[in-house]
Every structure is written in structure tokens, then in C-alpha cells.
Chain A
């Protein structure tokens, strides 16, 4: 099983600042089959990024993903009030289970 470790656990930032979230895998994630999701309280997760760096439909370009192998990053260039939420990475490896990271909470400083 591939374990995804996200850091930091909580990120305290102000609107307009840049956020950088990390997702590290215990084994290489094949072909960059890695996705990022945003979840707000009481809501289902929303797909932001797939293939490590491709934005999903309707996702603003302030969201960007990068990385390969075992190290991946989600960046939010300028935080908007609606961006304060919990973010999860998710991998699709060569065998199940396909796992999620434990999440990074981006909170208002």
C-alpha cells in the first residue's frame, strides 16, 4: 500500500498570500497518477488537479500542481477567501488500495 503523507498539517495564511502544500508518497506513483481535492465543511471533496498537474474543468488558474515520483506539490498563487479549506492528495498505484493523504487544512491567519 502506498502511504501519502501531506505537510504541513495546518497552514495559516492571509488572503492574497501564496500557499504551498506537499504530498509525499512512500513509493513512486506511477505515471503521475496523482490528484488533488478541496473539501469544505459539510461538502463532498471537489477535484482540483489530476495527472499531478492538469487542472480539472472550471478550476481557476491560481491552482497549480507539480511533481513526479514520490514528491508532489499543490500551489495556490493568491489565496481567495473561498480557498480556505482542507486539501487532500490521492494516488492511483499499480495495486490497491488507492489511498488519500491525511489532508492539509488551509486556515485564515
Chain B
């Protein structure tokens, strides 16, 4: 059973860079699409972006200028970097694996537990 675990600082100062890593265990990261999703406190879910194990990222246009998603297959993990953060970036950040059906990968069948990142000075 694949398991995902987010890690990184829980507090980031405004204008700095938010960096998170998602470690994957129980299965290889290779051959799958992996995503970041966030949820501001008390609010709904927002898709941030995804990356395939081969290294091709795709971003939500809302984040494109600030966002980098990368993958390290040797470490079986993928990462998120979000620059120039503000209080609006305060959220629980989830990593998730895409599930596939009929050759199309479009839903999230495995999720990490989430990590709360607060942007505050």
C-alpha cells in the first residue's frame, strides 16, 4: 500500500520561499503522476500542480510564476517550492498520487496526511 508523507517547515515568513517534500513509500514513484493540493483553514481544496516521474511538471496558472515542482526518483520523493509567499498561502498542503482509469489519470487515489504551513512574520 503506497503511503505519502509531507515534510517541511510549518512556518514561513512573508516574501520567503515555501519548500515541501513528499516522500513516497510502499511503491515506486516511477510511472505515476504526482500532485500538490492545498486547503486554507476552513476552506476548500485547490489544485496546485502535478509532475510525472519522468520530470514533466504542469502548474495551475494561478501559481505559475512562483511555483516549481520537481521529482527525485532516486530518493522516491517529489518537491514543491513556492516563492514570494504571503498570508494567503497559509494552508494545509497535501501531496497526492493520481489514479488512472481507461488510460487517463485524473483523480487522486492516495493522499498524504497534510502539513499545515503558516505564513507569518
Contact = CB atoms under 8 A, between A and B. Distances in A.
Chain A interface SS verdict (over half) = loop
Interface stretch (A20-28, A47-55, A77-85): A47-55
Contacts of A99: 47
A92 B45 contact: no
A45 interface: yes
A33 B60 contact: no
B108 A45 contact: yes
Contacts, number: 63
Interface residues of B, number: 22
Interface in A1-15: none
A70 interface: no
B107 A44 contact: no
B61 A50 contact: no
B32 interface: no
A37 B99 CA distance: 13
Given A44-B112, A98-B106, A51 B47 contact: no
A16 interface: no
Given A33-B104, A50-B99, A50-B101, A100 B111 contact: no
B47 A35 contact: no
A97 B107 contact: no
Contact of B44 (A33, A57, A88, A92): A88
B113 interface: yes
13 contacts: A31-B104, A44-B94, A44-B111, A45-B45, A47-B99, A50-B106, A56-B99, A92-B104, A92-B107, A96-B59, A96-B60, A98-B47, A100-B46
